Structures are given as structure tokens and as C-alpha cells.
Amino acid sequence: MRDGAPAIAAPGVSATARKIGRGEDARSRVIARTAFPFLVVAVIWEIVARLEFFPRRLFPPLEEIAAAFMRLTLSGVLPHHAFDTIVRLTAGFALAAVAGVAIGILMGRFRRAEDIFLPLVTIAAPIPGLAYAPLFLLWFGLGNVSAVLLVAFVSAFPVVFNTWTGVKAVKDIWVRSALAMGADNPRLFRHVIVPGALPYILTGLRLGLAQAWRVLVGIEMLAAVPWGLGWMIFGAREFLNTDVMLAGVVVIAMIGLALEKLVFEKLENYTVVRWGMMS
């Protein structure tokens, strides 16, 4: 423990330390097992880089990548890029989530809405998101608007499809029994349809977020936005700054992992598992 730590904090810290201590053996083994493959890959990378099969500029050893990472983080450049990317992702995905869930529920509940939207969605969905990028750039200009709109547009499809399936998959008997027990429309919607469709909606949101993430990196390279991780990687290529590019990829991987682990697993545990819809 650190010297000079406030006395009040000490009992809490030691309590957690004891709690960790119990499972320490198993946990450290898991950590070691997870770390081992990365270590092997790192060593191979280092050997290849040191032997200079490739020019050093193009295949930098790990410490150069780490140095670039530190330098860019300390100067605030990397956080700025990452921040802008996350803002764009959030804005685009929020649009997609709201519009997609709304359209999906309409499609699931009303025949007419299904007939109107389904053909349009079925035609537009199989086209890869980035193929729309040049059109969006022409229509909305270079920059943020195109990027956010494209991300929203592309990530809305999985949300719509899954919400629609989810609403249709709500068991008829639940709806009927709720109606028999005198539920009115808003209550039916809030207490039966939304919870019933939620596993599907969450799957849709998850797929949509993954889609948004993949498209966002691509569109940042194409749309000439001033900040953003995709742009950072693409711009660094001009100056052969492979270390900067790889540092960017590392940050992208970290954000992607964080989205998966922190956002979705938590959300799923909080709602679906707690309501007993999924084990």
C-alpha cells in the first residue's frame, strides 16, 4: 500500500485486497493465460522488426509504437482524435437507435407500416454502407454532417430488422392475457411489447453499434473530417508514420473492446437477464 494514504481509506482498501486474495490464484492464472498469446505475438513482432526484413519506418519495433502513443497522448492529439470519433459515433448511433427502434416497432405493430417500409429496407440494406459514402459526400458535403448521417443511416438497418422481428415474436398469448386483464394500449406497449421484444432490440442495437463503428472508421478516411482516429491513420500514411498509425489502431481496438464489454454486456445484464428473458 502507498505511504501517506488517508487513514480512512485504509480499511476499505484492505477489505477489497482480502476479497481479491481469495480468488487470486485462479484469477492470476486466467490473466497469465490471456496475456501469454499477446506476449508471443509481441516477441515475434519485435524480432521481425529488429531483423529489419522490412524498412524500419514501415515496421517499427514496439517501443517506437509505445513512444508514439505516449507522445501523442501527452500532447493531447490522440485524445482529441479519439474524442471526436466517439462523439461522431454517439451522435450517429443515437439517431439510428431512435429512428430504427421507432420504425421497427411501427413495422411490427401495423400491417400498413410493414408494407411501406419493408420493401425499402430490404432493398437498401444489402448494399454495403461505405458504398453510399460518395453519394452522401456529394449531397451533404465533406465533413461532419455526411459522416454522422452515413453512420446513422447504415447502423439503422440492423436495428430496424431486429426490432421488427422482436415485436412480431412477442407471444400472442401474453398480449391477449394482458388485454384480458384490462391493459390499455400504452400499458400493453410499455409492460408487454417492449420487454418482450427487448432481447431482439438489444441484439439489433449491438449489431448496429458494431456496424456504426466499422463504417465510421472508413468514412473518416474519406470525408476529410478535421479530427478523428480514421483520419489520423489515413493522414499519417502520407508521412510514413507507421508508428502513429499503429498507435491509432491500438486505440481503435481499445474503444471497440470497451464498447462491447462495458456498454453492451452491462446493458444486457441490467435489463434482459434481470427480467428473466434470457439466462
> Residues in the site for another protein, rule: CB under 8 A?
33-38, 40-41, 54, 58-59, 115-116, 118-120, 123-124, 126-135, 137-139, 210, 213-218, 221-222, 229-230, 233-234, 236-237, 240, 242, 245-246, 248-249, 252-253, 255-257, 259-260
Closer CB to another protein, 106 or 245, in the complex: 245
Closer CB to another protein, 80 or 183, in the complex: 80
Please, what is the minimum distance in Å from the beta carbon of residue 40 to another protein?
8
Closer CB to another protein, 170 or 234, in the complex: 234
Distance CA 95, CA 104 (A): 14
Closer CB to another protein, 68 or 236, in the complex: 236
Distance CA 141, CA 72 (A): 30
Please, what is the minimum distance in Å from the beta carbon of residue 192 to another protein?
24
Please, what is the minimum distance in Å from the beta carbon of residue 8 to another protein?
38
What single-letter amino acid sits at 279?
Answer: S
Range 243-249 contact pairs with CB under 8 angstroms and sequence separation of 24 or more: 243/60, 243/64, 243/65, 243/67, 243/68, 244/68, 244/72, 246/60, 246/65, 246/68, 247/65, 247/68, 247/69, 247/72, 247/78, 248/78, 248/81
Does residue 55 come out as left (phi exceeding 0), alpha (psi in the -120 to 50 range) or beta?
beta
Closer CB to another protein, 201 or 245, in the complex: 245
CB-based contact 224:143 (threshold 8 Å): yes
DSSP structure class, residue 130: G
Please, what is the minimum distance in Å from the beta carbon of residue 146 to another protein?
12
Please, what is the minimum distance in Å from the beta carbon of residue 3 to another protein?
36
